[in-house]
């Protein structure tokens, strides 16, 4: 049986991955880290995630590409994007994909945890599922 409250953390910055891997368990969250979008896409443990935390540059649209591909495959787990930008186009693009939240860098731990918990709570009324 998978542990509850698993957060898949996806990012290219090893220091950020390490920091999140230490921070999130302090708030009762289990962490699976992925050093790239590709490793998350093809990782066997992906189906255990109850939330995906994405720290990847959105100007390349890699995070949105990942989200679209996973949604097309039936992956309805919420995504929280860590972003440097406050561009309206990013927010508008994301709203069409449902169960998406943003946390702007730099952020306080409490802001991140609140966003993750809120994202996970969105699965109470309508269950979220991992990829098949």
128 lies in some domain: no
129 lies in some domain: no
Total tally of structural domains belonging to the chain: 1
26 lies in some domain: yes
Can you give the residue range of the structural domain that contains 71? 6-121
Average pLDDT value for the chain: 80
Q: Is the pLDDT of residue 3 over 50?
A: yes
The residue among 97 and 24 whose pLDDT is bigger is 24
pLDDT in tens, 59-109: 556 667 777 777 787 778 888 988 876 655 666 666 666 778 888 888 999
56 lies in some domain: yes
Q: Which strand (E) or helix (H) includes residue 122? A: none
């Amino acid at each position: 049986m998978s542990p509850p409250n698993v957060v898949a953390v996806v990012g290219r910055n090893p220091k950020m991955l390490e920091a999140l891997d230490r921070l999130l368990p302090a708030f009762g969250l289990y962490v699976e880290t992925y050093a790239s979008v590709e490793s998350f896409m093809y990782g066997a443990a992906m189906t255990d995630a109850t939330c995906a935390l994405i720290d990847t540059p959105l100007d390349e649209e890699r995070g949105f590409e990942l989200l679209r591909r996973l949604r097309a495959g039936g992956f309805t787990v919420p995504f929280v994007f860590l972003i440097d930008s406050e561009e309206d186009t990013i927010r508008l693009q994301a709203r069409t994909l449902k169960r998406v939240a943003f946390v702007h860098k730099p952020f306080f731990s409490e802001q991140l945890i609140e966003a993750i918990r809120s994202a996970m709570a969105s699965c109470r009324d309508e269950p979220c599922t991992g990829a098949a």
